[in-house]
Structure 1
Amino acid sequence: MPDDHYVDYSQLLSQLLNDQFELNDTVISFLYHLFPGELFVKAMSLLDSNDMFIYVFDKAHAQCEHSESTETEPDGSGKEAREPQDAEADADANNFTNSFSSSHTDNTDLVSLLYKAPETVLYRLVVKPETAQGPPICVDLDHWFCSCEEYGSQFQQNFIRDTSENREPSIYSRAVTELNASASSNSDRFAQLPLQHNVQRYFRHELVLCPHLLAFAILLQTSSQVLTYFTQKNATVYLITVQHLDEWLKLHLNMIQ
């Protein structure tokens, strides 16, 4: 990431809202041309789709729920008796992500915490699958990862295949840019990776960037006002607090199925 002619994406994307707390059409038009193809349009469509979920685990009030054990009749212990229960459990796991779609969490303090001290918050980013049979799409901004096919295809093309052909030292050297120790601290949070040995690092998003990553980066790597707009005023992105450990574990089981 060169220091000269550097674009501060966080600063630009934070200008999505005007002084009236509405979308800024002029900035949106500029951002449309900043990103390749229809990438920005697809990301904005996701933000309006009601398909994006930010699950936050409330560690301070976490509880562990266990269903009460019940005595099983001898005749009901066979395979025939267990199958309906197993099918119902599988259905519950598959529909876990969708079970929160009826309510939004209005929590200004949580929005502020996600920006002021994100390292203290345990959260997961999920996009509802396009089909009922498909798995949810999981996004990890801290490691600039998405489970969608588009991300995998771009990563394969720009890092794995090119690394093999060009004999680069490693995938890491192609995927990550480290700022020099002498360089001034950069305020841009877009595609920023966790510090390593006090070195500021960025993923090369110009090589791998899907609509899901861009949409969540707009929410969580710009300004708290943008996150507030989409989760509270526009109310098209769900910010959900999970207080029960069992539900948090179910969420992760649903992700890997």
Structure 2
Amino acid sequence: MPNENKISYSELFSELVNDEGQLDDAKASFLYYMFPQEMFIRALSLLESGEIFIYIYPCSTSTDLESLVNTIVQTVYNDHNDGKLIKVVVQTNDDRTIFTDIEHWFCSCQEYSEKFSQIITSDPETPLQVLLLKEIDNVEDFSSDKFAQLEANSLSKQRYFNHSKVICPHLLACSILLKSSSRILHFFTVTKGSVLVFPINDIDEWLRLHVNIA
């Protein structure tokens, strides 16, 4: 496997859709071998399943889909969020609701919990920060990769979660959506329409969403 320090997963994700607006089979095949246990295939299946929902608050409920997606682009890719909050939820076919937070590398699914627990129990003497985090203090060594990056707004340090230790298809799918490029986001939300986007303009509704996925 290539040296992970030289890999930009974000760049690889952004190349998943070719110039003809289709999934690039060659890039998908390459990414398949970058993750364990068919993780990439499971993530791609999630993106095409219609089970991923992106909620935006505050946002007018009369906003059309193109404008909604542009709001997400401005928030996650152009850093012009204007106070917008974005939440990603996965509603499985057995009615389980899963909350995924790629900014803090957290998912409420059982697979994530089991892997995290395994890390804790397998090496209880080593601090979690040592086991699960990679810190880059030298600005000259900074990476352009956004995948599994924590506290992305820091100017003096880069921190990455060790995704080789803890990952699930939900985190990978959301990273492909929101840590790649606006073209990938547009492909799954607008072109394929397999990832659904919902505006929320009422604080009570936004709070109810949090209660329902708690």
TM-score by length of 2: 0.89
1:105 pairs with 2:65 = yes
Output the amino acid matched with 1:177. Answer: K
1: distance between equivalents of 2:112 and 2:37? 15
Q: Taking structure 1 as reference, are residues 4 and 216 closer, same or farther at Cα in structure 2, changes over 3 Å only? A: closer
CA deviation string 1:192-247 (max 9, x = no partner) = 00155731100000111100000000000000100000000000001211111121
Q: Is the 8 A contact 1:54 1:124 kept in 2?
A: yes
Query: What is the deviation of 1:111?
Result: 3.4
Q: How does 1:1-257 map to 2 (within 5 A)?
A: 5-58=5-58, 105-107=65-67, 108-113=69-74, 114-117=76-79, 120-132=83-95, 134=96, 136-158=97-119, 160-164=120-124, 167-168=125-126, 170-195=127-152, 198-256=156-214
- Structure 1 gaps, min length 5: 63-103
CA deviation string 1:152-193 (max 9, x = no partner) = 1111112x11331xx21x112211110122433311000000
Larger Rg: 1
2: distance between equivalents of 1:105 and 1:182? 38
1: distance between equivalents of 2:155 and 2:71? 29
Deviates more, 1:214-223 or 1:4-13: 4-13
2: distance between equivalents of 1:4 and 1:106? 35
Instruction: Please identify runs of 4+ aligned residues in structure 1 that moved more than 4 A.
Output: none
Output the amino acid matched with 1:13. Answer: F
Q: Is the 8 A contact 1:163 1:171 kept in 2?
A: no
Aligned residue for 1:23, secondary structure, equals coil
What percentage of residue pairs aligned between the two structures are identical?
37
Q: Is the 8 A contact 1:192 1:201 kept in 2?
A: yes
Aligned residue for 1:19, secondary structure, equals coil
Aligned residue for 2:65, secondary structure, equals coil
1: distance between equivalents of 2:114 and 2:80? 29
Aligned residue for 1:34, secondary structure, equals coil
Query: What is the deviation of 1:5?
Result: 4.8
2: distance between equivalents of 1:118 and 1:28? 30
For the aligned residues, what is the CA RMSD? 2.1
More helix by share: 1
Q: Taking structure 1 as reference, are residues 30 and 118 closer, same or farther at Cα in structure 2, changes over 3 Å only? A: farther
2: distance between equivalents of 1:111 and 1:251? 18
Query: What is the deviation of 1:49?
Result: 0.5
CA deviation string 1:128-153 (max 9, x = no partner) = 03323x3x100011110000010011
TM-score by length of 1: 0.74
- Structure 2 gaps, min length 5: none
Aligned residue for 2:50, secondary structure, equals coil
Q: How many residues are treated as equivalent by the alignment?
A: 206
